[in-house]
Amino acid sequence: MALYAIGDLHLHFESELKAPMQLYDKVWVNHEQMFQENCARLLKPGDVLVLVGDHSWGTKLEHCQKDLQYICSLDPGPAEGESGGPAASAAGLPRIVLLRGNHDMFWDAKKTAQLNARYAGRLFFLQNNYYPYGNYALVGTKGYCYEGLDTPEHAEKLVERETERLRVSFEAAAADGYRKFIMFLHYPPTSALLWQRNSVFTKMAEKYGAEQVVYAHCHGESRFHDSIRGWKRGIHYSLVSGDCLRWHPQQILPN
């Protein structure tokens, strides 16, 4: 099995498109087909794909059904001879893991358990929980960073909320005996506007010993270096926004 990640699909099969660049920017034209073809070529049975937020422009769940069906179709299927695939638990977890992004209005964080019940066996929604992947626990939350769109005071409150959600995710995994972690955020772990090299999120990754931090959200070449990429204090940071990866899922852990 292998673990892959990518973010920012921004699907709109049955909702209003709110980013005009998706209509004319060459990296976005027919990106749904390109991504589906890349997944079919790269993902092998038993592999797990983490989608790191901003899945759909739909504001309500009923406006996202075709988008979520498309996401379900990316599942590479179980490994040969294993009904749930080697990364799944005895309960048979899905191989597609979703993290909440800032545009995922259909996803009420307080109703994550309901989403997991509704899509049991097809999708796993990562929020205030964790996903077991071999000896690793995949943990995560949306996160938040200051981008000048609100006051620093309000941003601080959002960071505190997301920090607590991430702590719950880490602690749930640790309580079940996990000591190896891959940490996922939708937002970058630091704010480019504040010239940060450290944040509460990088400190939490270090505190719990996460091996990697994977994030998305940063679109366009001018934004690809807004935050940490590569190694920092023994942790590897990866930006996996879809346009940055040209719609090729990035391998996070090898077979």
The closest alpha carbon to 102, from 164, 149, 156, 138, belongs to 149
Give the whole-number percent of the chain exceeding pLDDT 70.
94
The answer on pLDDT for 141 being more than 60 is yes
Task: Decide which of 145 and 252 is more confident.
Answer: 252
pLDDT at residue 82 in the model: 60
Burial label for 91, CB within 10 Å (0-12, 13-18, 19+), is exposed
List pLDDT tens digits, range 11-59.
999 888 778 778 788 899 999 999 999 999 999 999 999 999 999 999 9
Q: What is the distance between the alpha carbons of residues 43 and 64, in angstroms, rounded to a whole number?
A: 24
Q: What is the distance between the alpha carbons of residues 196 and 203, in angstroms, rounded to a whole number?
A: 12
pLDDT at residue 138 in the model: 98
Kindly report the pTM of this predicted structure. Answer: 0.93
The answer on pLDDT for 203 being more than 80 is yes
List pLDDT tens digits, range 101-140.
999 999 999 999 999 999 999 999 999 999 999 999 999 9
DSSP string for 190-220: S-TTTT-S--HHHHHHHHHTEEEEEE----S
Q: What is the mean pLDDT of residues 195-201?
A: 85
Helix axis angle, 152-175 to 200-208, nearest 10°:
10
Q: What is the distance between the alpha carbons of residues 71 and 10, in angstroms, rounded to a whole number?
A: 11
Between the alpha carbon of residue 160 and those of residues 6, 174, 199, the distances in Å are 25, 21, 11
Sheet holding 136-141, edge to edge: 131-133, 136-141, 180-185, 210-215, 235-239, 230-232
β-bridge mates for residue 244, sequence order: none
The closest alpha carbon to 202, from 169, 173, 226, 236, belongs to 236
* Structural domains of the chain ordered from first start: 3-253 (3.60.21)
pLDDT at residue 231 in the model: 95
Please report, in angstroms and rounded to a whole number, the separation of the first and last CA atoms in the chain: 5
User: How do strand 124-126 and strand 230-232 relate by DSSP bridges?
Assistant: unpaired
Coil, strand or helix at 102? coil
List pLDDT tens digits, range 52-103.
999 999 999 999 999 999 999 999 999 876 654 444 443 479 999 999 999 9
